Structure 1
Amino acid sequence: MTLQKSTAVSSCRVSERSRLITLPRHFGRLMMVVEHAVMDVMSELSSAYQGGYWEFYELSNGGFYMAPTSPERFILLSQGSGNEGELSADASGIVACLFAINRVWARYQTDSLADHYHWLLAFAREHAEWNTIAHIID
């Protein structure tokens, strides 16, 4: 019996030159819906979030996420579960994207959104802050 080693999911920051084509490539006509949902979710999760620039990241498994560029950490509180945790801006972006993609999927129910959720979740499971991410999205 041969065991296959799973390949770790990696992320790569999207360059300034490629930003304009990234959201349409991943979300098509729903690109603005997803982007706004991410920022809305972040505002709901953290009272410290005041807007700002977000970096885009593409994942080696086909996924995508965005994260605020703020150097600070955020305390996130899930209104649904009451779970709270402190995360880096990168991990906070992952949480916001997971919630937002799920929210948009609930309305539009496309296979692409479901795929993006699962691809990002696979990446999140390998993140250094997975335990806190999991606690908040639970």
Structure 2
Amino acid sequence: MTTATKNNLASAANESEFELTVTQIPDEQRICFWPQYFGSIPQWITLEPRIFAWMDRFCDEYNSGIWSFYTLGNGGSFIAPDADFDDKWHLFNGMNGNGAQM
């Protein structure tokens, strides 16, 4: 699955438009995701459980689950939890008071 998203970036000096391609990693390639994109980070193997723990800490509605892995056309990558239906999650960081809805 590949989707493209257009975003408008505006600054005081100029405006530019760019297209960013997002591609979901197939299940059979997930095993290579962490070492391929984060292998240069010391102890990269601990990143996934840490991400899950932070999500659990920030979001009362989160109770573990399946996460999808993605790559970006600009060489970046990210993971995101799979939501059921149109679930909205409310995140709150008690350490600094920031909150968001996802």
Shared fold (TM-score greater than 0.5)?
A: yes
Matches within 5 A, 1:89-100: none
> What's 1:42 paired with?
55
Name the one with the larger helix percent.
Answer: 1
CA RMSD of aligned residues (A): 2.1
Identity over aligned pairs, percent: 24
Structure 2 portions without partners, runs of 5+: 1-13
Relative contact order, CA 8 A, sep 6+: which one is greater?
A: 1
Corresponding position: 1:19 with 2:30: yes
> What's 2:46 paired with?
33
Aligned AA (2:32): I
Corresponding position: 1:51 with 2:64: yes
Larger radius of gyration: 2
> What's 2:99 paired with?
84
TM-score, L = length of structure 1: 0.54
Q: CA deviation at 1:40?
A: 1.1
Q: CA deviation at 1:27?
A: 1.1
Query: Matches of 2:73 and 2:32 in 1, distance apart?
Result: 17
Aligned AA (2:101): E
Aligned AA (2:58): L
TM-score, L = length of structure 2: 0.71
Corresponding position: 1:60 with 2:73: yes
Q: Structure 1 residues 30 and 10 mapped into 2: Cα distance closer, same or farther (>3 Å)?
A: farther
Q: CA deviation at 1:69?
A: 1.0
